[in-house]
Amino acid sequence: MNLIIRLLLTAVAVVILAYILPGVEVSGFGSAIIVAIVLGLLNIFIKPILVILTLPITVVTLGLFLLVINALIILMANSFIDGFMVSGFWIALLFSLLLSVLQSILFSLLKEDVK
């Protein structure tokens, strides 16, 4: 049940960010749910491989290269989903940063409701 709530909260965050950011478009809430699922799957399967392959660059940049990896994950989701559009790398980077912040806020509200 917690996984479904997290996916729905991520979809809400995607819709909010698509409304705020000019270079991000989502065709509807159904597409936002698909974006949340695809981002979750990419973060589970692809991101660890990218982190391991780019470990030397990540160490040299003191972890800042992980932001680039997050933007690449967003761009991968962009290429997989028809109802989701990100206009470029910098918008994907900003989208990934804001999505992480918004998810942290929403998930912290979820933990307060459980107690």
Label residue 23 exposed, middle or buried (CB < 10 Å: 0-12, 13-18, 19+): middle
Three-state SS at 26: strand
Radius of gyration of the chain (CA): 14
* Calpha distance 17→10 (Å, rounded): 10
* Calpha distance 22→18 (Å, rounded): 7
> Measured on CA atoms in the order 109, 110, 114, 115, is the torsion positive or negative?
negative
Would the pLDDT of 110 be above 90?
no
Residue 68 lies in a domain: yes
Residue 99 lies in a domain: yes
Q: For residue 113, what pLDDT band results from cuts at 50, 70 and 90?
A: low
Q: For residue 2, what pLDDT band results from cuts at 50, 70 and 90?
A: confident
Residue 32, domain extent: 2-108
Query: How many domains is the chain built from?
Result: 1
Residue 76 lies in a domain: yes
Would the pLDDT of 85 be above 90?
yes
pTM of the entire predicted model = 0.91
Residue 78 lies in a domain: yes
The residue-averaged pLDDT of 83-88 equals 96
Residue 115 lies in a domain: no
In this prediction, residue 112 carries a pLDDT of: 66
Residue 114 lies in a domain: no
Q: By percentage, how much of the chain surpasses pLDDT 90?
A: 91
Residue 113 lies in a domain: no
Residue 101 lies in a domain: yes
* Averaged pLDDT score across all residues of the chain: 94
Q: For residue 98, what pLDDT band results from cuts at 50, 70 and 90?
A: very high
Q: 84-86 and 24-26: which strand pairing?
A: antiparallel
